[in-house]
Structure 1
């Protein structure tokens, strides 16, 4: 998916300066002990489904939209898993960005995973006991989503 218009409009005003955005991450778990992952087109790595919140969009609604746009799977949000500020980063074009990320546990309700946009090379269910190389943060999100503790994780200092 191309860069959202609201980000392009902001970039016209601020150039490559740091832009604070609301990020969304989905841990979509099915009843076969599998998690839905996408192979990213930009770096070839497997990752959780993620995206950014559009202005005025509710987080759970935005995440369900992102899951469907990227994987063709319709899902429902079950609970908030974590709220955290991610480290600042930059894109190859020089744009600086930092995300406040909301991670949610979700479950699928219909649809088979498939590449549904130009952001992914592959989409599939992965067994929880045989995951590909994920970031430490993504592994932590999965573990938190599997935890019986329903309270979200967040930093207090």
Structure 2
């Protein structure tokens, strides 16, 4: 998916300066102890589903939209897992960005997992005991989704 217009409009004003955005990530688990992953077109890595909150959009609605857009799977949100600021990052074109990531645990409702946009080259359900190489942060999000804890994780001044 191309860069959203609201980001392009902001970039016209701020150039490559650090842009603070609300990001979304989803841990989609089915009843067969599998997690839905996408193989990213930009770096070839398997990852959790993610995206950006559009202006005026509700986060839980947006993460369901992202799941459907990327994988053709219809899903529902079960719970908010975490609210965390990611480290600043830079894209190859020089744009700098930092995300406030809202991570949700979700369940599939229907649809067959497949590549549904140009952001990924493969989409697949992976058994939890045979996962591809994921980042430490993705493993942490997955552990949180599998945890019986029902409160979201967030950093406080005492942490």
Common fold: TM-score over 0.5? yes
Where in structure 2 are there 5+ consecutive unaligned residues? none
Map of 2:125 onto structure 1: 125
Map of 2:97 onto structure 1: 97
Instruction: State the Cα distance separating 1:156 from its structure 2 match.
Output: 1.3
SS in 2 for 1:148: coil
SS in 1 for 2:48: strand
CA–CA distance in 2 between the matches of 1:94 and 1:86?
18
User: What are the superposed Cα offsets for residues 33-86 of structure 1, whole Å, 9 maximum, x if unpaired?
Assistant: 000000000000000000000000000000000000000000000000000000
User: What are the superposed Cα offsets for residues 120-140 of structure 1, whole Å, 9 maximum, x if unpaired?
Assistant: 000000000111000000000
Map of 2:16 onto structure 1: 16
Map of 2:156 onto structure 1: 156
Where in structure 1 are there 5+ consecutive unaligned residues? none
SS in 2 for 1:11: helix
Asked if 1:145 corresponds to 2:145, the answer is yes
CA–CA distance in 2 between the matches of 1:78 and 1:59?
13
SS in 2 for 1:143: helix
SS in 2 for 1:121: strand
CA–CA distance in 1 between the matches of 2:3 and 2:125?
27
SS in 1 for 2:64: helix
CA–CA distance in 1 between the matches of 2:105 and 2:18?
29
SS in 1 for 2:137: helix
CA–CA distance in 1 between the matches of 2:14 and 2:46?
31
Alignment of 1:2-151 (within 5 A): 2-151=2-151
Question: When the two structures are superposed, what TM-score results if normalisation uses the length of structure 1?
Answer: 0.99
- RMSD value over aligned CA atoms? 0.4
